[in-house]
Structure 1
Amino acid sequence: MALETRGNWDDLKVRLASGAAMAAVGVGAIILGGVWFQMLAVFVTAVMVWECWIMIRGASPTSGMLLAAAVASILSAQVFGAALDTEFVLLFLVVPIIGALVLKRERVTFFIFALAVQIAGYGLVHFRIDYGFTWLIWLVSIVVVTDIAGYFAGKSIGGPKFWPAVSPKKTWSGTIGGWVGAALVGAIFMSFTNANWTIIVISVVISFAGQMGDIAESALKRRQGVKDSSTLIPGHGGLFDRFDALLGAALFMLFVAQTFNVPGVAF
């Protein structure tokens, strides 16, 4: 039993070290804002598209790098724009269409993921520009705390699986633990911002959207028969493995911010 318990936690030190390094870079870029955060968003977005390509293609990483370079070029030009207009959306279609034409399988899958990743990257940059440091930290905190709370709750409590056919390791205890963590984040931000109690509800919904982003990437990996999107980050796999939840959360928040006047929140 002791050996099994140790096995459940033997990756914790590596995960914490890598997580701390990513957090330092991410928070630093968010605080600095401007071109620093834009460059980080462009880099992460391009790498995620590359990882999506190599998961599906299984080889030929050079062609994936060319697509990633195209994503970086397009997104770099667009993040300095003022709004998500029609021309920008059309440019976001370039890489998904080229990739779908080159691939012999999973064409629709690559198209959807590549497009979603680019829109999410763009959305995060403009979320920082339009709504400021505080609310981007709130969004990222929800994703991070959901992951941490879910990890510890799932490891400690275990129990029934959330969606075993897609993600065999995820449990209901971990999922609900993530919601509780997100609610606490909402409550903390409510205490020092102009937000009212609705931010707690929104935080939980965003947490769920992030979990669905994680599930979507897990489904992709399962379909392709791979454990991780890449091996770039010790203990975490690739950037797609680490930012899949932020992808789901960012897409949902971009939709909410563009569509609704959310009560009790400064956007």
Structure 2
Amino acid sequence: MSNFSDLRARVLSGVAMAVVGLGAIWAGGWIFGALALLLAGLMGWELHKMLVPEAPQGPAEATGLSAAILVGAMTFWQAGWISLLGLALGAAVMAWRMPKDRVIFGLYYALILWAAHALIVLRLGAGLEIVLWLVLVVIASDVAGYFAGRVLGGPKFWPRVSPKKTWSGTVAGWVLAGIVGAIFAATMGLSWALVPVSAVLAFAGQMGDIAESAIKRYTGVKDSSNLIPGHGGVLDRFDAMIAVAALALILAYLGAFGGLAS
């Protein structure tokens, strides 16, 4: 009975996240921006709580609030590479204030900030299609990795950090992500560079998943938090997405999407 209750909570939470997320992506503007800032704040809070579980109430909440403020300031008051540099410097300052694990915190906190900033910038500058493509690349990589890994099996990708991931599932994720890129390029008149870029982003998402898994193993926690019933924390659900979004914006600035974002 308890297993059924967990499944019910997981399904309902998943549906709610899908509705809210897709609705915000479709709406764009301040609605999508507000959601991105909220997620940045929650992920910053979770990261602090994982690395300093004994901290009293206040510091972790301040870390989350700072994440939202930094992303908002660098997104709406600056642009381009300057904003990325500003977010990196902000992450370095926040890391310096941490009592321990400053390097781990600083690197992952910067990734969170870059990802939230990237999603807002890409939605405003490149449009609805690009953000939907990124979401589907993550989903395709996860689904292909899950089924191929269990059906084909084979050597493990990185057993010490993520014992369930296999090379077959990893490569399958790249292939299905590339197919997603091809569909978007063919149906929406976007650059065919999306095909190889999709595979690269799928790999980035897989590494983002592994990075969060490594932090959880290091800190000895099962989930980043219990904010989402049946799913754990926000980082548990968006670990791949933050790596994909951050890299996508950098590639966009480098012209990988044929100038879709600038």
Instruction: Give the TM-score of the pair, scaled to structure 1.
Output: 0.86
Candidates 70, 76, 82, aligned match of 1:74: 70
**1:29, 1:36 within 8 Å by CA — same for their partners in 2?**
yes
* Displacement of 1:13: 6.0
* Displacement of 1:156: 3.8
Counterpart position of 1:97: 93
Q: Deviations over 1:76-100 (max 9, x none)?
A: 3333235135377336533542343
Counterpart position of 1:115: 110
**1:142, 1:206 within 8 Å by CA — same for their partners in 2?**
yes
Percent sequence identity over aligned pairs: 43
Q: Which runs of 5+ in 2 are unaligned?
A: none
| Cα RMSD, aligned residues only | 2.5
SS in 1 for 2:229: coil
Counterpart position of 1:174: 169
Counterpart position of 1:193: 188
Candidates 201, 214, 232, aligned match of 1:219: 214
**1:99, 1:110 within 8 Å by CA — same for their partners in 2?**
yes
Candidates 11, 14, 26, aligned match of 1:31: 26
Counterpart position of 2:158: 163
Q: Which deviates more, 93-102 or 173-182?
A: 93-102
Hey, what's the Cα distance between the residues in 1 that align with 2:33 and 2:77?
Answer: 12
SS in 1 for 2:227: coil
Instruction: Give the TM-score of the pair, scaled to structure 2.
Output: 0.88
Aligned residues: 258
SS in 2 for 1:169: strand
* Displacement of 1:122: 0.7
Q: Which runs of 5+ in 1 are unaligned?
A: 1-6
1:45 paired with 2:5, answer no
Q: Deviations over 1:47-78 (max 9, x none)?
A: 11111111110122531001111222232333
**1:146, 1:181 within 8 Å by CA — same for their partners in 2?**
yes
* Displacement of 1:126: 0.5
